[in-house]
Chains A and B, each alone.
Chain A
């Protein structure tokens, strides 16, 4: 059986009885058994009580649980027992952080990969208008950057150029206008943030299944978030996963104004909106593409794991990390 991600949007209780995990919400007459063998990881959006026995069981099975608040923002993960790390790899990962040149190199590569994926999107949406020329210039700056803050600065400029072009292509009701966060002030921002949070958690799950230390990062400062390496990797995947889904959902009218509600502190997706977005997200992650190097089909989700493997290879010194640029 192929393991799948499980998303819980409703409120309820997750508990264990004998060797079975159950979920029960108010609407259910009987608790619903969850087959742990088929679960890859769990994403919880509702108010869910989890018993410690359930957590023990999930830890035993190596299943990570990700929690989101009612805005759909990532709160944190239950990251069961750090798997056996490789002392050697940990040392190399840290070395690439401590060595300024090595850190800068990786930070640049994350920004570059991200930018090239943005470019790819704009071309698909036919709003690339001068973006490539601009990138050339900004990449030169990137090469010259001697500090992480300078790299971050270039990154921010690339991003704002990207958003302003993407905006041209979006329906009137869903302009990004100004990308705001926490709380998002408009629908498109809310949608993108929701997807980015989910993507971040997925990356945390994938890193969990490798020997990489998720807390040592390069573009982002370690400690910016607990799993800052997932932030680095999400730069690569945000454009080609989250942005593409968001774009499709509003262009096709799957997500409409009615899927949002205004709150004191911003615009939020409704439960129904979240359900639709999660569904689209899961479908997307299960889609596969032919991998040019591996010569096999791999799912979009697997691409994240593969990116982690490429980093591992970089750290141990067989070839340089070459960020994924979407060929699809």
Chain B
């Protein structure tokens, strides 16, 4: 089991999430150029901290996002409630990223995404997807190290994006 905090924890779940939404957004966010209304998911570091220091809290509420951490023996379930599926890939990769890290810390876990509006849930396990996560991490590192943000590309996502004005004014 590795010691917490891991160096790679410099990457946050949100960054992994943004990678699959838009690299420009990721770059701005990673440089601390934020536009309010961020912070999905719980910070993994915070979770681990709480866990380490024996916080048995089963539910963490951050903004409108509710996360349950339920211990079942050694299997931990990370539950996430999501509004819609339009960012499904981003949510999934973020979940995988957490599972990947928990695993490296010697904690076995699985994630469940809830889509109450669609009356659906989706279970996510790491099984064999480590490569995918590692590639994503490398890509985040690469984008963060760029001297300037990747040129924005206009897409449907832009309209709802908090960076819309910054990119397109």
Q: Residues of A with Cβ closer than 8 Å to B?
A: 84-89, 211, 291, 293-294, 305-306, 309-310, 312-313, 316-318
Contacts and interface: CB of A to CB of B under 8 A. Distances in A.
A86 B148 contact: no
A294 B159 CA distance: 10
Contacts of A84: 32, 34
17 contacts: A84-B34, A86-B34, A88-B32, A89-B31, A89-B32, A211-B33, A293-B168, A294-B165, A294-B168, A294-B169, A312-B166, A313-B166, A316-B31, A316-B149, A318-B148, A318-B151, A318-B152
Given A85-B32, A86-B33, A294-B168, 20 more contacts: A86-B32, A88-B31, A88-B33, A211-B32, A293-B168, A293-B169, A294-B165, A294-B169, A305-B165, A306-B165, A309-B165, A309-B166, A309-B169, A310-B169, A313-B166, A316-B28, A317-B148, A318-B148, A318-B149, A318-B151
Contacts of B164: 294
B54 interface: no
Contacts of A294: 164-165, 168-169
Interface residues of B, number: 15
Nearest to B147: A317
Interface of B: 28, 31-34, 147-149, 151-152, 164-166, 168-169
B158 to A, nearest CB: 10
Q: Which of B31, B33, B164 has the most CB of A within 10 A?
A: B33
Q: Which of A84, A306, A309 has the most CB of B within 10 A?
A: A309
A208 B166 CA distance: 16
A109 B49 CA distance: 49
Interface of B is mostly: loop
Contacts of B165: 294, 305-306, 309
A83 to B, nearest CB: 9
A316 B152 CA distance: 13
Nearest to A88: B31
Contact of B148 (A87, A211, A310, A316): A316
Contacts of B28: 316
Q: Which of B152, B165, B166, B169 has the most CB of A within 10 A?
A: B169
Contacts of B34: 84, 86, 211
B32 A306 contact: no
A309 B165 CA distance: 7
A61 to B, nearest CB: 14
Contacts of B147: 317
A235 to B, nearest CB: 19
